[in-house]
Amino acid sequence: MTALELESVSRQFVTPDGGSYRALDSVSLAIPAGAFVAIVGPSGCGKSTLLNIAAGLVPPSSGSVRVDGEALSGLNRRATYMFQQDALLPWKNVRENVALGLVLAGVASADANARANEWLARVGLSAFAAHYPSQLSGGMRKRVTMAQNWILDRGMLLMDEPFSALDVHTRQRMETELLTLWEAPDGYHGPERAALLRGTKIVARPFQGRDRQERKTVVFVTHDLEEAIALADEVVVLSAGPASHVVARHPVALDRPRDLFELRTSAAFIDLYRSLWAVLRDEVIKSQRNA
Amino acid sequence: MKSSRASATRNGVVLAWQIAVGAIAIAAWQTLVTLGLLDAFFVSRPSDIAKRLSTWVVSGSLWGHLATTLEESLLGLTVGAALGISLGFGFARSPMVARVFDPYIKMLNAVPRVVLAPLFLLWFGLGIWSKVALAVTLVFFVMFFNTYQGVRDADKVLIDNVRMLGASERQLVRHVLIPSALTWIFSSLQTSLGFAMVGAVVGEYLGATRGLGYVIAQAEGTFDTTGVFAGMTVLGVVVVIVSAGVSRLERWLLRWKA
């Protein structure tokens, strides 16, 4: 089943000098339910615009968007969105931020708080429930944001360079946490959880043949090819802007669960990287010439 | 995190210096008058002012005037805040209205309030309401501009995130726009409170039967500089105490800020 389908989607913006800028040009893309798809492209290629269109935050100038087979009008209520910037409400504490989506949906506050507590335990932040976002580190804020998104249990997760502001090591740890949540929706417990939190090595429970349908569909936008390959089932390469379009789609046939601490040096990974970089490199060069 | 003991010591040092500066200024004033370098008729002397203050406190005549001034200030602050916040919010949410009224708001804000005082006396009488009105004209604009800015400045990403999490327009206002505006409003509370007191005192000064402004005006009418300085001292002390309270309130309300 197709979770997200873009058909000849184009988007123009009015520039400050009154002209028009064509960010996306006739992008067609079908993403199967339960897939983890990464979208890469040079900066300014309209990756974020594509995601905003999938979220319903920005309407396409032409073309159509279908979510789970239905035409999208208004906001995409089957998805949550992890933004590049911090999007936690600074005046709400960690627990209130995690519970926010439930509260907005009218869940009684006792129930919402109880479920938020469960999620805080899963991302290892129980001790910080009463803290405010400004009192947390960047990595902690990302974990709160993941819990805030995941608690709603919508089928689709749109992510716009969510970890780009983090340092390399924190970033790798967040990627691991993301994959853990995504690969094992029921979570890891006990010693596995503890090992995960120590950040030594991902100790993944043997993958129990979980049906792909139960996983969320993830659309992950990044400019980092390495991150894209490490996380995704499929990498989509967008051309340099203006008038970005899909130049390549490449499946990533790496086993799951993936050990991100070792994966990047494996031969299969390096082969994939080489063949995808051959495509992306040309677009990056074009984008730098245009800039 | 800095050790709290070090910061406590620093606070102690600051307080000691603050007291020292005040004591030196008062001692210099007293000495200059005693030596005849300054004429007590024009500048009074600290010892006389202290005597006058204690007379006011002992006789109890001070409290009625003080209560009147505080009542007017508080009413001015409340009414001005209510009007400023609701109008600021409305304007921020409807850009068309904001554009239409923009020049009028600017014109009204440019009117010197002292000019309005006689009008308010005419309209609202010698009682507290003419002073409240004057305080309102001062507080309103501070609150209005801060609310307007606060709502307009609400972070686009926060708005998008909350909408993606399922917020209706009403929930968006409640969970994002109001808190965002409140941070601006709280930060301007000190200014607003000061303006409210200025409004009340100026109003009393120009025509009243009670209040600190009235006391000062009466003293000036009889060239009683001691009375004028005593009145000013009371005002100053009240402002310092109230603004310390407001600072604590502000810190508590904005405790989520780093």
Lowest mean pLDDT among A8-22, A88-102, A205-219, B241-255: A205-219
Q: For residue A90, what is the nearest residue in chain B, using CA coordinates?
A: B256
User: B205 falls in which pLDDT band (50, 70, 90)?
Assistant: very high
Query: pLDDT tens digits, residue range A133-179?
Result: 999 999 999 999 999 998 998 999 999 999 998 998 889 989 998 99
Q: For residue A84, what is the nearest residue in chain B, using CA coordinates?
A: B157
| Chain A residues close to B161, C-beta within 8 Å | 81, 83, 87
User: B1 falls in which pLDDT band (50, 70, 90)?
Assistant: very low
CA distance A260 to A257: 9
pLDDT at residue number A186: 58
Q: For residue B181, what is the nearest residue in chain A, using CA coordinates?
A: A91
Is residue B80's pLDDT more than 60? yes
For residue A61 the two structure tokens come to 């100038």
Contact B165 A101 (CB under 8 A): yes
b/e sequence B218-235, b meaning 16+ C-beta within 10 Å = ebeeeebbbbbbbbeebb
Residue A118: inside a domain: no
Q: Are A123 and A140 in contact (CB under 8 A)?
A: no
| Chain B residues close to A133, C-beta within 8 Å | 256
Side by side, the strands of the sheet bearing A246-251 are A79-82, A156-160, A217-222, A36-40, A234-238, A246-251
Mutation target among A83, A89, A98 for the B interface, most CBs of B within 10 A: A89
Residue A194: inside a domain: yes
Q: Which residue range is the domain that position A167 belongs to? A: 2-78+154-290
DSSP string, B11-57: HHHHHHHHHHHHHHHHHHHHHHHHTTSS-HHHH--HHHHHHHHHHHH
Contact B256 A134 (CB under 8 A): yes
Q: For residue B158, what is the nearest residue in chain A, using CA coordinates?
A: A87
Contact B157 A85 (CB under 8 A): yes
CA distances from A151 to A99, A114, A215, A225 (A): 8, 11, 14, 29
- CATH number for the domain spanning A272: value is 3.40.50.300
Contact B258 A89 (CB under 8 A): no
Residues of chain A in Cβ contact (below 8 Å) with chain B: 55, 57, 75-77, 79-81, 83, 85-87, 89-93, 100-101, 104-105, 132-135, 148, 152
**CB under 8 Å to A154, separation ≥6 — which residues?**
A77, A78, A79, A80, A216
For residue B180 the two structure tokens come to 């965002």
Q: Give which of A212, A178, A210 is closest to A34, Cα–Cα.
A: A212
Residue A108: inside a domain: no
For residue B62 the two structure tokens come to 């001070």
Q: Å from A67 to nearest chain B CA?
A: 15
| Chain B residues close to A100, C-beta within 8 Å | 162, 165, 175
| Chain A residues close to B184, C-beta within 8 Å | none
User: A15 falls in which pLDDT band (50, 70, 90)?
Assistant: confident
pLDDT at residue number B72: 96
CA distance B23 to B135: 33
Closest by Cβ to A80, choosing from B165, B167, B256: B165
Is residue A117's pLDDT more than 70? yes
| Chain B residues close to A77, C-beta within 8 Å | 166
Lowest mean pLDDT among A10-24, A75-89, B148-162: A10-24
- In which element (H, E) is residue A70 found? strand A70-71
**CB under 8 Å to B29, separation ≥6 — which residues?**
B38, B43, B45, B46
Residue A193: inside a domain: yes
Q: Å from B194 to nearest chain A CA?
A: 27
| Chain A residues close to B255, C-beta within 8 Å | 132
Contact B256 A91 (CB under 8 A): yes
Q: Å from B169 to nearest chain A CA?
A: 11
Closest by Cβ to A89, choosing from B163, B175, B255: B175
Q: Å from A105 to nearest chain B CA?
A: 7
DSSP B177: I
Contact B166 A152 (CB under 8 A): yes
pLDDT at residue number B83: 96
User: B95 falls in which pLDDT band (50, 70, 90)?
Assistant: confident
Q: For residue A131, what is the nearest residue in chain B, using CA coordinates?
A: B256
Contact B183 A91 (CB under 8 A): yes
Query: pLDDT tens digits, residue range B6-37?
Result: 777 888 999 999 999 999 999 999 999 999 99
Closest by Cβ to A81, choosing from B164, B179, B258: B164
Mean per-residue pLDDT over chain B, rounded: 92
pLDDT at residue number A187: 52
**CB under 8 Å to A191, separation ≥6 — which residues?**
A203
pLDDT at residue number A113: 94
Contact B166 A77 (CB under 8 A): yes
Q: Are A44 and A291 in contact (CB under 8 A)?
A: yes
Residue A128: inside a domain: no
pLDDT at residue number A274: 95
Query: pLDDT tens digits, residue range A37-73?
Result: 999 998 878 899 999 999 999 999 999 999 999 999 9
Mean pLDDT of B231-255: 90
Query: pLDDT tens digits, residue range A183-217?
Result: 865 555 555 555 555 544 444 443 344 444 478 99
Mean pLDDT of A98-116: 94
Closest by Cβ to B166, choosing from A86, A90, A105: A105
Tell me how many domains chain A contains. Answer: 1
User: A273 falls in which pLDDT band (50, 70, 90)?
Assistant: very high
CA distance A185 to A157: 13
CA distance B185 to B79: 14
Give percent of chain B with pLDDT exceeding 70.
Answer: 98
Which range has highest mean pLDDT (A7-16, A91-100, B93-102)?
Answer: A91-100
Give percent of chain A with pLDDT exceeding 90.
Answer: 62
Contact B166 A86 (CB under 8 A): no
